[in-house]
Amino acid sequence: MTRDEVFQKVRDVLVDALAVDEDEVTAEASLVNNLGAESIDFLDIVFKLEQAFGIKIGQGELFPENVSQDARFVQNGKVTPAGIDALRARLPHVDFRSFEADPQLSKVGEIFTVDTLVRFVERKLAA
C-alpha cells in the first residue's frame, strides 16, 4: 500500500469518526485542535483503523496511556524530559519536537496529527 493509499483510508476513518469534511483532513491537521477530537474519539479511531487496515492495535500503542500515573514522568502538570523520552520510545510514530517547548500533560493529545496516524499505520503494515 502506498503512502497515498494509507492517507486516503486514514482520511475516510477520520471523516467517519469525527464527522469532519474530507478537505479538513490534511496531513498537518491536529486531531484535537483542528478536527475537534475528544478523548472517546481516540478509542473510536483505534477501532476504526483496525477495521480499515486489518491490523491489531494494542492498548496504549497508538495513543499514550498511564503517563500521568508515574511520578518520574509528570511533575506539576508537566511531562518531564524522562517522561518525553519514555513516550518517544513507546510511540516512535509521534513527533514530539513542538511538544517539548511546552510539555503540559493536558496538551499531550494535541501532538497527534493526521500524519502521525499515517506513519503509525505504515509502521504496522511493514512490521
Partner 1 sequence: MRWMWIDRVIELVPGQRLVAIKNVSLAEEHLHDHFAADPPTPGSRGRPALPVMPASLILEGMAQTAGILVGHASGFATKVILAKIGTASLERDAGPGCTLRYTATIERMDLVGASTSGVVELMDHAAGTADQPARFERIGVIDLMFSHLDHNMGAAGAPGAAFPKHNFVFGEGFKTLLRTSGF
Binding site for partner 1 (CB under 8 A): 16-17, 39-41, 43-44, 47, 50-51, 59, 65-66, 68-69, 105
DSSP code, position 62: S
Minimum distance from residue 25 beta carbon to partner 1 (Å): 17
Separation CA 57–CA 50 (nearest Å): 7
Counting beta carbons within 10 angstroms of the beta carbon of residue 81, is it exposed (0 to 12), middle (13 to 18) or buried (19 or more)?
Answer: exposed
CB of 41 to partner 1, least distance (A): 7
Looking at the Cβ atoms of 56 and 97, the one nearer to partner 1 is 56
Nearer to partner 1, 3 or 16 (CB): 16
Region class of 84: left (phi > 0), else alpha (psi between -120 and 50), else beta? alpha
CB 11 to partner 1: min, Å: 17
DSSP assignment letter at 97:
H
Comparison of 70 and 85: residue with beta carbon closer to partner 1: 70
* Nearest distance from C-beta of residue 65 to partner 1, angstroms: 6
Helix (H) or strand (E) holding 2: none
